[in-house]
């Protein structure tokens, strides 16, 4: 059975390869019966046959890990539009960063 972690690993492998990303992602989804989740016209994540959800956003396993990344970005990124806080995601049970206060 496909788990959220193995699906994340497969997605990462596809993106690292960098070729035919869309095609390879669709094939992976079809093979495992994974559904895409869209909201307001944007791809937000994937729903697995197990009911687990995998978000497209960068996912941190703990609040500390998310805060550490937030800290690094706020010190090093030259961009104006930066994440300002971490939040726990009710869908994938991980932590994400957001630029919304
Ligand atoms: Zn999430």
Dihedral over Cα of 87, 83, 74, 96: its sign: positive
| Rounded distance from Cα 6 to ligand 1 centre (Å) | 16
| Rounded distance from Cα 58 to ligand 1 centre (Å) | 8
pLDDT for residue 78: 86
pTM, two decimals, is 0.85
| Rounded distance from Cα 35 to ligand 1 centre (Å) | 15
Domain residue ranges of the chain, discontinuous segments joined by +: 1-55, 57-101
Mention every residue, 6+ apart, whose C-beta is less than 8 A from residue 85: 70, 97, 98, 100, 101
pLDDT for residue 77: 86
Band the pLDDT of 4: cuts 50, 70, 90: very high
80 has pLDDT over 90: no
| Rounded distance from Cα 89 to ligand 1 centre (Å) | 5
Band the pLDDT of 79: cuts 50, 70, 90: confident
Average pLDDT over residues 54-59: 95
| Rounded distance from Cα 97 to ligand 1 centre (Å) | 10
Band the pLDDT of 40: cuts 50, 70, 90: very high
């Amino acid at each position: 059975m496909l788990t959220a972690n193995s699906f994340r690993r497969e997605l990462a492998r596809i993106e690292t390869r960098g070729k035919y990303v869309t095609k390879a992602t669709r094939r992976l989804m079809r093979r495992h019966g994974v559904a895409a989740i869209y909201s307001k016209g944007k791809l937000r994540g994937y729903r697995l046959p197990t009911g687990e959800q995998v978000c497209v956003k960068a996912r941190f396993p703990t609040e500390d890990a998310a805060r550490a990344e937030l800290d690094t970005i706020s010190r090093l990124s030259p961009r104006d539009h930066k994440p300002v806080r971490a939040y726990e995601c009710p869908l994938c049970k991980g932590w994400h960063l957001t630029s919304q206060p």
